[in-house]
Amino acid sequence: MYEGVVQDLIDELGRLPGIGPKSAQRIAFYLLDADPVDVRRFADVLIEVKEKVRFCATCGNVAESETCRICADPRRDQSVLCVVEESKDVVAIERTREFRGRYHVLGGAISPIDGRGPDDLRIRELMQRLADGAITEIILATDPNLEGEATATYLTRLLKPLGLRVTRLASGLPVGGDLEYADEVTLGRAFEGRRTVD
Amino acid sequence: MHVTHLSLHDFRSYPELELPLEPGASAFIGANGQGKTNLVEAIDYLATLGSHRVAADAPLVRVGAERAVVRASVERGDRTALLEIEITPGRSNRARVNRGPLPRPRDLLGWLRSVVFSPEDLRLVKGDPSDRRHFLDALLILRSPRFAGVRADYDRALRQRNSLLKTARQAGRGKGLETLDVWDGQLAAYGGELLAARLALLDELGPYLAAAYRDVAASAAAERTAAVAEYKPSFDHPDTRDRDVLREAMAEQMRERRRDEIDRGVSLVGPHRDDVVLSLGDLPAKGYASHGESWSFALALRLASYDLLRADGDDPILILDDVFAELDRDRRSHLADRVTEAEQVLVTAAVAEDVPTGLRGRRYDVAAGTATRAEEATDA
């Protein structure tokens, strides 16, 4: 146990995800040693992020104003919507620069164990966005795990009757990998999702 | 296959152990509590990522240590592989093969195969259905490691679905069940696959089981009574091994019993409710078989597993953990006769006299966390 505020800092850091007691201690002492200006800037950002950042009223992504940058961008395709679980999935897909449509962030996946049902996700908001008929294709980009698949299946049942084109991200072999090292589930999925070559 | 070297680091009672091993029979002799079983448990952990003694990982790490490491060199034909697992309770374990890290510990399955006989095996006959389901699934995973994933997904889908049913029951009839169909679909998909695989496995195991029981019991009575293991599902399904047909049958049953499931707040249909009925002749082994017959049956199940794996073309490592003390003289020698040919047999016993002569092979004395090769070793 350290004295007063040093221990407080270690305790606070230790509550962050992925940081154990030893890492917390290392970071605390790094901060003690660091330039006061750097630490001040770090502290300011922490305060600012809680005060300024909000969630986009349209898509649920993190934003600094009423609407996020992507929803506000008139060049983005209005007819395609990509549904993801978290804001960080938006960033991941944006990095690809392949997708020019807009997003809808659900805020998680259906998981009864964690007490999360459809009402706890932004599904009602999704349905409202579809009401005016501008959106014609929905890409379901939830995680390829049990909960992500369940959420995608649930949404498919909800969306299909609306006459939209509903697609699911393909799952299969990683690019740059070796076929022989792929696990059997991934390889099996890749077989199921194979396509004709021209 | 056989293990040529075993290293332990903070595993159970061993701070550090380097143990060269050879093919053929090796006997580990030592008083209780000296660490005999820990040695073979380490090898079994590499093969199954589980222990035959405990369900959680925490007891596997030496008291006061943060993590345990088990490392084994395995020779298979003319190829050697160095397998390694680092066990850290409360975090994900890390596995390596030939010093290269694997994406998931589960990927270690299949590199080493072992069959363990232990005093706990009597539970296969006398215990709960869960003991027999575990036996089947463990053998299934040993043969095709892919099923570790199917089983894990099934268990997770089951927990999600049970959680949903339970919440719905507490909230009042029919509330919050709009995603039940989705979980039904998931559960039936994995359930159908698991069920199909278990049925196919029992089909294959049957002949080996009957033969193994005759060999172990080896009495006039045993000649006339056949040992049979029959799958007892929790729902009626067509007699097929086609997973899609079984999935449909399971989904159908879930629809039929939905009201009941909602009332009770728990999933009532699927492989998690199934059992394997073991019988001798016309009578179920559980409740009817004598203590000796029950032992013969348990041994026969393990021997049949061993024979089946061997027929796949890979001689698994045989581990006989403290099992001879439980058996009478006849069963001891019948079992020994059956396994002397194995590529590698590791035997543990409190006293050397319990080990049949054919299996004494090289002898190691185990005491206070060390295993030393005894000088008077080979008597063959």
pLDDT attached to residue B33: 83
pTM: 0.85
Annotated binding site of B: 30-37
> B-side interface with A, Cβ within 8 Å?
103-104, 107, 145-146, 149, 153, 156-157, 159-161, 163-164, 167, 176, 178-179, 181-183, 185-186
- Angstrom distance (rounded) from CA B350 to CA B322: 7
B186: Cβ contacts below 8 Å, ≥ 6 apart: A146, A149, A150, A153, B153, B157, B160, B161
- Angstrom distance (rounded) from CA B262 to CA B264: 5
Name chain B contacts of A111, Cβ cutoff 8 Å: 160
pLDDT attached to residue B173: 62
What CATH architecture does domain B1-113+314-380 belong to? 3-Layer(aba) Sandwich (3.40)
- Angstrom distance (rounded) from CA A85 to CA A122: 10
Are B185 and A153 within 8 A, CB to CB?
yes
Cβ contact B319:B10 at 8 Å: no
Domain boundaries, chain B: 1-113+314-380, 119-313
pLDDT attached to residue B380: 43
pLDDT attached to residue B174: 62
Burial class (CB within 10 angstroms; exposed 0-12, middle 13-18, buried 19+) of A111: buried
Where do the H-state alpha helices sit in chain B? Answer: 36-48, 122-126, 129-143, 146-171, 180-217, 220-224, 243-256, 258-264, 285-288, 291-311, 329-339
**pLDDT tens sequence for chain B (380 residues):** 999 999 999 999 899 999 999 999 999 999 888 888 999 999 999 999 988 888 888 999 999 898 999 999 999 988 999 999 999 988 889 999 999 999 889 889 989 999 999 999 999 999 999 999 999 999 999 998 889 989 999 999 999 999 999 988 887 766 678 899 999 999 999 999 999 999 999 999 999 999 999 998 877 676 778 899 999 999 989 999 999 999 999 999 999 999 999 889 999 999 999 999 999 988 889 888 888 899 999 999 999 999 999 999 889 999 999 999 888 888 888 899 888 889 999 999 998 888 888 888 888 999 887 888 886 544 44
Annotated binding site of B for ATP: 30-37
Minimal Cα distance from B144: which residue of A? A184
Q: Which fold has domain B119-313?
A: Glutathione S-transferase Yfyf (Class Pi); Chain A, domain 2 (1.20.1050)
pLDDT attached to residue B15: 92
pLDDT attached to residue B41: 93
CA angle B170, B174, B176 (to 5 degrees): 75
Cβ contact A103:A70 at 8 Å: yes
Chain B within 8 Å of A106 (Cβ-Cβ)? no
Q: Provide the sign of the torsion angle of the four alpha carbons B155, B161, B164, B168, taken in this order.
A: negative
pLDDT attached to residue B377: 46
The list of chain A residues with pLDDT below 70 reads none
Minimal Cα distance from B177: which residue of A? A117
Q: What is the tens place of the pLDDT at every residue in A41-79?
A: 999 999 988 888 889 999 999 998 889 999 999 999 999
Are B149 and A185 within 8 A, CB to CB?
yes
Which of A22, A106, A113, A145 to mutate to probe the B interface, most B CBs <10 Å?
Answer: A113
Name chain A contacts of B176, Cβ cutoff 8 Å: 117
pLDDT attached to residue B308: 96
pLDDT attached to residue B356: 87
Shortest Cα distance, chain A CAs vs residue B147, angstroms = 10
Are A150 and B179 within 8 A, CB to CB?
yes
Q: Which domains does chain A have, with CATH numbers?
A: 4-52 (1.10.8.420), 68-196 (3.40.1360.10)
CB half-sphere exposure, B94, CA atoms < 13 A: 9
